[in-house]
């Protein structure tokens, strides 16, 4: 088993493009670390540097106490699982799983034993004689995992391994991958662009954007205390509603467009940094689950016009408009000043039996303790 430490890791290319900017990240023994972010954020580049498939431009990569910067991939004691499975179509499941052991010239009885153990863990015992073409997508992914497991590596690297599966199978395989990784107790890097996948699987989640680490923490902290607007908008589905707002000089009146709500004294005391924004603009974020339709007069509320309703069976997603200015994930001052973010769309979760129709003007209750506050220039969260 090994820990993995990335110390001020940078990756630049010959054309001058810097894909990763000074990344510091540590993964403990047995930890499941998820790298998440939009396409092009640098997460796969990080994985490939850990694997040795990309050269580290500067910084130090360690497995335990060993510096790995110039160690060839074959000598890194890693196993990588790809999104395309990379199985040999002419080989049986058994031969695919045991191929790496065969290359090591291990005895046949040892190979058979380790393949059988891996197949038992993965529920593949009844398919060992089948070819990959005879298997479902989920079964083929388990074969790819079995090939990694029998190598007994110090580090697992998984590059969007579930992206080719349908939605139902992805949910099932999320559970399978998490269960197997915890059983094996191997340090794991898991790359995905799916924040739901990240939140449900990771011991910790590293959120990247434009080659920089935005925040790394346990999933609940990312949800409750995002460092900045990008993390706030990226984590959570549907995305957080972000608006330009104005905080009154009394520090409790919050204006959104032509409407206003009152913050609680406890919230203002908790967010000491709000003192600096009295009488100024800021950005607020409210998650859809912190908006109630219909609202009630005994809680802060706004009025909004219903634009669209998504019926999901267990709940409704109610899309509405208010006359506040919507802020996008880039969320910095130039967006506000140029008028790029002029729409007041938002989304709220509602009970499936809620009586609401498109075109209604509805009362939207707000759980004020759940409001997040951000600086309009830097996009950073406002706390102390």
**Span 225-267, pLDDT tens digits:** 999 999 999 998 889 999 999 999 999 999 999 999 999 999 9
- For residue 294, whether the previous peptide bond is cis, meaning omega lies within 30 degrees of 0, is yes
Q: How confident is the model at residue 337 (pLDDT cuts 50, 70, 90)?
A: very low
Answer whether 116's CB lies under 8 Å from 94's CB.
no
The DSSP symbol for 293 reads S
- For residue 88, whether the previous peptide bond is cis, meaning omega lies within 30 degrees of 0, is no
Average pLDDT (8-14) is: 96
The first and second tokens of residue 288, run together, are 């859809």
Q: Which of these, 84, 82, 85, lies nearest to 48 by C-alpha position?
A: 82
Q: Which residue reads 């179509």 in tokens? A: 89
The DSSP symbol for 250 reads T
What pLDDT score was predicted for residue 262?
95
- Which residues neighbour 159 within 8 Å (Cβ) at sequence distance 6 or greater? 44, 47, 80, 81, 82, 83, 191
Q: Using the predicted structure, report yes or no on whether residue 333 has a pLDDT greater than 50.
A: no
Domains and CATH numbers, the chain: 4-227 (3.40.50.300), 231-374 (2.40.50.140)
Q: What is the mean pLDDT of the chain?
A: 90
Tell me whether strands 18-27 and 4-12 are parallel, antiparallel or unpaired: antiparallel
Average pLDDT (51-67) is: 95
Please list, residue by residue across 25-53, b when 16 or more beta carbons sit within 10 angstroms of its beta carbon and e when fewer do. Answer: bebeeebbbbbbbeeebbbbbbbbbbbbe
**Span 172-210, pLDDT tens digits:** 888 888 988 898 899 999 999 888 899 999 999 999 999
Burial class (CB in 10 A: 0-12, 13-18, 19+), 321: middle
């Amino acid at each position: 088993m090994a820990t993995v430490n990335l110390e001020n890791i940078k990756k630049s290319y010959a054309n001058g493009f810097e894909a990763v900017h000074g990344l510091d990240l540590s993964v403990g023994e047995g930890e499941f670390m998820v790298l998440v972010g939009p396409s092009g954020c640098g997460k796969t580049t990080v994985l490939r540097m850990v694997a040795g498939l990309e050269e580290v431009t500067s910084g130090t990569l360690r497995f335990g106490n060993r510096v790995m910067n110039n160690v060839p991939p074959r000598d890194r004691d890693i196993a990588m699982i790809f999104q395309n499975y990379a199985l040999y179509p002419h080989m049986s499941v058994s031969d695919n799983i045991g191929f790496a052991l065969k290359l090591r010239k291990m005895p046949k009885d040892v190979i058979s034993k380790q393949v059988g153990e891996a197949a038992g863990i993965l529920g593949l015992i009844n398919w060992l004689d089948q070819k990959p073409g005879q298997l479902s997508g989920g079964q083929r992914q388990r074969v790819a995992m079995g090939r990694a497991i029998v190598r007994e590596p110090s580090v697992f690297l998984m590059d969007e391994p579930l992206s080719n599966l349908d939605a139902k199978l992805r949910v099932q395989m999320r559970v399978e991958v998490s269960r197997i990784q915890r059983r094996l107790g191997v340090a794991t890097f898991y790359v995905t662009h799916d924040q739901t996948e990240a939140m449900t699987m990771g011991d910790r989640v590293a959120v990247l954007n434009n080659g920089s680490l935005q925040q790394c923490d346990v999933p609940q902290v990312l949800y409750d205390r995002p460092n900045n607007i990008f993390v706030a908008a990226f984590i959570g589905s549907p995305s957080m509603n972000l608006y330009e707002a104005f905080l009154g000089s009394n520090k409790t009146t919050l204006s959104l467009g032509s409407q206003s709500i009152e913050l609680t004294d406890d919230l203002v005391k908790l967010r000491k940094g709000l003192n600096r924004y009295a009488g100024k603009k800021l950005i607020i974020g409210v998650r859809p689950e912190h908006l109630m339709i219909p609202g009630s007069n005994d809680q802060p509320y706004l009025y909004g016009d219903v634009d669209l309703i998504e019926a999901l069976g267990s709940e409704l997603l109610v899309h509405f408009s208010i006359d506040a200015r919507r802020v996008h994930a880039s969320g910095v001052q130039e967006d506000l000043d140029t008028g790029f973010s002029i729409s007041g769309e938002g989304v709220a979760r509602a009970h499936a039996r809620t009586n609401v129709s498109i075109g209604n003007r509805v009362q939207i209750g707000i759980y004020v303790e759940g409001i997040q506050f951000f600086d309009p220039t830097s996009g950073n969260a406002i706390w102390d």
